Amino acid sequence: MDAEELVESIIRGLMFLAGILGNNWLAIRSLPKRKSGIRTNEVLFINLAVSNLITNCLVDLPDTIADFAGRWFLGETFCAVFRFCADLSETSSIYSTFFISVFWHQKLVGSLKRGGAPVQLDSLCLVGCLLAGSWTVAAVFSIPHFFFIAVEGGNESKEDCVDVYPSAVARQTYEIIYLTLANALPVAGIVFASVQIVITLLRNRQRIQGHSSDATKEMKDENKSTESRNDRSVSTVSGPGPSNDPEDPASSSHIYTGVPASSCPKEDSGVGAPPNLPKPSQVRAKPSSSTQVRAAKSVVAVAAVFLVCWLTHLLLRISNNIHTSSMVVEVASYIAASYTCIIPYIFLYGVKKLSCSCKR
């Protein structure tokens, strides 16, 4: 193994360790504390972690070992398992990310516009059906790898696990259908949900700023009117030409105004509500909880990483259909591995579970 291959193998090994740690952490932190307290977002996070762990353990680890060994030595049987798990976990991970994006978009809109009303994906039954469907689609697209694989290479030092289709037309047909249904459509859905989240956050920010400016203006107008009423009241009570002589009865602090002393307003009571307290109409409920906004922002961050990784991965797979290259396949696998080792930490940060708390 030369220096370049050694560096590539070390990088792949570090990505594998980061993915194992992050996805296990995401799965453990998403487990409900009580059996009856499981929620849909926890189910989605656990499903995403399981999908990524399949990639880490059954795809990245064997590939890293083969890189250090310099050849594929795990046999043709495990080569079929390797290829099957690669597409299975990839498809499931993409659909899980899509469902999470849609879920947090619904939660954000429900919080901002409907006061936190339940959304469609709050249903565990619906989420379970969607996840079962995504795993079924992933399995259907992965089954052909059990029949069209081979360990190629005459020299043992150059052996590699590859897909071997009956013809170029069969390979292109499979790739087109797979990339369309298992990559392009979910990617489009993730982009749409992420754009809607950004638009919702921007509109909410503008609405909050508008409410704040209106409340500030109303407070200033009320303070001015209160001060003018107090000035008129003081001028009426004091009257013209009082004497400063303490012996002068007119300078007495008890000035007859025709109104009983008990009914005179106190100095700190003012007229109506205190000027520094907002009216009930000015007291507005917070449009959304910080947790939902933070989680929605993490979804946007994941979507950005997702687009960089999977669009590049998708383009490389398409280019490989036009001109087959082992280097392109290798780069595509590195990009897929980088996605699975980054997004768990972004989601953990978004739902405030990145740190480990010892409190019970």
pLDDT tens profile 64-105: 888 777 778 788 888 889 889 988 998 998 899 899 888 888
Under a CB-based contact definition with an 8 Å cutoff, are residues 236 and 259 in contact? no
pLDDT tens profile 158-185: 677 888 888 888 888 888 898 888 888 8
Give backbone dihedrals phi and psi of 162, rounded to 5 degrees, phi first.
-135, 165
Residue 58 is assigned to a structural domain of this protein: yes
Under a CB-based contact definition with an 8 Å cutoff, are residues 112 and 204 in contact? yes
pLDDT tens profile 145-161: 888 888 876 555 567 78
Specify the pLDDT at position 99.
Answer: 92
How are beta strands 160-163 and 149-152 bridged, if at all? antiparallel
The count of other CB atoms within 10 Å of the CB of residue 346 is 21
Residue 70 is assigned to a structural domain of this protein: yes
Report percent pLDDT > 70 for the chain: 64
Longest dimension (CA), the chain: 124
Beta carbons within 8 Å of 337's beta carbon, 6+ residues apart: 12, 15, 16, 19, 55, 59, 60
Under a CB-based contact definition with an 8 Å cutoff, are residues 22 and 344 in contact? yes
Residue 259 is assigned to a structural domain of this protein: no
Provide the pLDDT confidence category of residue 44 given band limits of 50, 70 and 90.
Answer: very high
Residue with tokens 């392009």: 184
Q: How far apart are the first and last CA of the chain?
A: 50
Domain count along the chain = 1
Domain that holds residue 38: 3-210+286-350
Residue 317 is assigned to a structural domain of this protein: yes
Distance CA 96, CA 115 (A): 26
Closest alpha carbon to 24 in 1, 3, 54, 2: 54
Under a CB-based contact definition with an 8 Å cutoff, are residues 153 and 159 in contact? yes
Distance CA 255, CA 238 (A): 8
Residue 239 is assigned to a structural domain of this protein: no
Under a CB-based contact definition with an 8 Å cutoff, are residues 310 and 333 in contact? no
User: Which CATH number belongs to the domain containing residue 50 in this structure?
Assistant: 1.20.1070.10
Structure tokens at 283: 């007291």
Structure tokens at 55: 């990639």
Which range has the worst mean pLDDT, 264-268, 311-315, 344-348?
Answer: 264-268
Which of 138-152, 300-314, 333-347 is modeled with the greatest confidence? 138-152
DSSP, collapsed to helix, strand or coil, labels residue 290 as: helix
Structure tokens at 275: 């000027």
- pLDDT reading at 329 higher than 50: yes
Residue 101 is assigned to a structural domain of this protein: yes
